Structure 1
Amino acid sequence: MKKFAFLVHVRNSYRIDLAAVARPFGWLPESFYENAMRNRPLRPFVWSKVTLSPGATEAEGYVIMVPYSGKQLLSQQRAMMPRIEQAVDLASSLGAGVVGLGALTSPVTLGGKLLTGRDDVSITNGNAFTAVITWRRMAQLIDESPSYRPTVAIVGASGSVGHLVSQLLARHQPDADYLLIARNERRLNALAWEMTGLNPLVEPQVSTDMESVRKADIVLLLTSSSEALLQSRHLKPGAVVLDDTVPRNTNPALLDQRPDVTIIDGGLVSMPYLHTSRDIGLPDQTSYACLAETMLLSLANHEGHFSIRNPTLEQAEYIGELARQYSDFGFRPAADHSFCVPMKTAARFQHSYSRSPASAV
């Protein structure tokens, strides 16, 4: 097994994340940190040591913090690239053979493309396994929907994960009506043609308007944004939302505004032996799917870069097979949470891993 590293950044709040290092940091207002961090060349550092094997006593991997907010990464991409390169340098110096790109470090590097000149580490954006886990959960939600033929809105469909999830759904779940939503209509139309080519029973609609989400029984949220994009007015009565975004594009206030709506945290993987030396913002023994992909590649001693920009159906099959091969470590869809809180209704949605209608990958 190779050592691995996974890059993260400050989520939506310096104050909250830094309070995990020392409680007094949480006493300062967010505006103080925003002003203090602006245009500062801050060096990445090890946020947490990670083990995933039962009984492991030495670090098998590292979570490396790029100490900037998601908003800064997206608005100052050119300035952020040297910081991300430094984070990969740190990973390599720690002996990591595989480096995963977490959250918005992936779009800033064009899905890892800007790092493929490196030959000291294998780079992956984690999107292949994220797509597989997301597709499996969506297949369950479609199967459980009270609608005979539910309308499924995929927000961010033309992105790296959205593209592959859409392909998997077209191939295996033709018993739904799909609405593809993103900013680029040309890409959406191309994806709709791809989906119909994979399965003639699937004829997706496309839209560039978030208001069209209101047609959907099930909403899959996959956008790369530092802000909450999904609002109460966008949701149909009784809608189910699978939020696969980090930072989150949903706000906890939605639970109060729309008690009829179910919001599920997406892209979470059960890892019964996982241990981190510092909180990474997840329930115990739970991993992000993109981090899990990094772990799978390290367990398999993978050589060369893996998921770069848009992962392929072939890569989905490969990483799904690795998940089965290393199932003793977990790599199964986690129990349902909503804003990191276990859902009382989780049993209503939960299927066994082996019986999932999405078990082909």
Structure 2
Amino acid sequence: MQKFAFLVHLRSYAKDLGRVVPPLGWIPDSAYRYALRNRPLPPIVWSNVTLTKDSTEPEGYIIMLPYSGRQLLEQQKTMLPRVRQAMELAASKGAGIMGLGALSSSITMGGKLIADNPHLSVTNGNAYTSVITHTKIVNLIKKVPGRPVVALVGATGSVGALVCLLLARHHAEADYILVARNERRLRKLADEMKTINDKVVSVVSMSMQEVIHADIVVLLTSSADCILHAGHLKANAIVLDDTQPRNSDPVLLKQRPDVTVIDGGLVKITHLKTNKIGRLGLPPGISFACLAETMLLAKAGYKGNFSIGNPTLDQAEFISRLADRFAHLGFGIAPDHSFGMPL
């Protein structure tokens, strides 16, 4: 096994800031952004990581960019050098591959802008995220009576597009609403799904208002904002939020107690251990699928870049086989959580 690194950033609001600079505690993202304007902060090792039982030496590292997701999106050009610094830091710790967490993937075009770096290999983690999300959607479809309608918001993104193709290849027992901002890309994706399986029924929309027709809503965007609101959802809808930063807010559950919100893209890794501050807001033994993909590749000694830009169906099948190979460590869908709390 080679060592791995995983790149993260502060959440939408700087809730983690008190762990970086304890006297400051929690401050809103807007104030944090103002205080740090034009102040380059170096990446730091946020946590050591182990995933095998009785391991005493770090098998990987979580590297933190001390900026919020909105800062990454708004200051992409100045953030790219910070990402490269993080890669140098990871390599200095002995990592052979680095995964791109949350919006660090978006600002690097899914790893395309840093794939030629001399320091270590890269994966954006989206192949295994797509596999886990697809599996979860299929499980939810089976629980809804009749032929449910599934809305995929952010359908043309790196994860969304592969999830759609996996649904077309393996499961057509639902009708699909594909939601994104680019109509041309939406129609192309719908045509690809139809080519894979002519039984697939899908409509495309550039409006969130179409989501109200869905029994299951899957959030897959790279937005740093909460874009899903109470008025978007039909009665008793199920929401699978696969985004980081999240596109849903806990207030939704108070406004719509009939709605179920499930945290998406979560994987159970039985013996996963991090420093307490490095849990990324997750319960013990639970990992994001993008981090799990990085771990699987490192565990298998994979050489070279893996998931760059949009992952493929072949990559989804490859990472699924690796998950089966290391199933003794976990690498399966985590128990359902909602905003970090067990359901």
Task: Tell me if structure 1 keeps the 8 A contact 2:12–2:29.
Answer: no
Pick closer, same or farther for the CA change 1:288–1:29 going to 2, 3 Å.
Answer: closer
Within-5 A mapping of 1:57-96: 57-96=56-95
Within-5 A mapping of 1:318-337: 318-337=318-337
Pick closer, same or farther for the CA change 1:165–1:283 going to 2, 3 Å.
Answer: same
Letter in 2 for 1:67: P
Distance 2:245 2:125 in 1: 15
Letter in 2 for 1:102: G
Cα offsets for 1:298-350 (capped at 9, x unmatched): 0000011000000000000000000000011110000000000000xxxxxxx
* Matched residue SS, 2:80: helix
Within-5 A mapping of 1:1-361: 1-14=1-14, 16-21=15-20, 23-26=22-25, 31-146=30-145, 148-277=146-275, 278=277, 279-343=279-343
Cα offsets for 1:200-223 (capped at 9, x unmatched): 000310000001100100000000
- 1:120 Cα deviation after fit: 3.2
Cα offsets for 1:166-210 (capped at 9, x unmatched): 001111111100010000000000000000001000031000000
* Matched residue SS, 1:193: helix
Distance 2:281 2:62 in 1: 12
Structure 1 regions of 5+ residues with no counterpart? Answer: 344-361
Pick closer, same or farther for the CA change 1:191–1:7 going to 2, 3 Å.
Answer: same
Structure 2 regions of 5+ residues with no counterpart? Answer: none
Pick closer, same or farther for the CA change 1:32–1:342 going to 2, 3 Å.
Answer: same
Cα offsets for 1:54-84 (capped at 9, x unmatched): 0011111000001111101111111110011
- Percent of residue pairs identical: 57
Distance 1:120 1:268 in 2: 28
Distance 1:28 1:190 in 2: 43
With 269-278 and 29-38 compared, the bigger mean Cα shift is at 29-38
Distance 1:35 1:161 in 2: 32
Distance 1:289 1:324 in 2: 14
How many residues are treated as equivalent by the alignment?
Answer: 341
TM-score by length of 2: 0.97
- List structure 1 segments (4+ residues) > 6 angstroms apart after TM superposition: none
TM-score by length of 1: 0.93
* Matched residue SS, 2:258: coil
* Matched residue SS, 2:64: strand
Distance 1:124 1:106 in 2: 9
* Matched residue SS, 2:189: helix
* Matched residue SS, 1:157: coil
Distance 2:273 2:34 in 1: 34
Letter in 2 for 1:243: D
With 24-33 and 309-318 compared, the bigger mean Cα shift is at 24-33
- 1:127 Cα deviation after fit: 0.1
Task: Tell me if structure 1 keeps the 8 A contact 2:16–2:26.
Answer: no
Task: Tell me if structure 1 keeps the 8 A contact 2:286–2:334.
Answer: yes
Letter in 2 for 1:96: A
- 1:18 Cα deviation after fit: 1.7
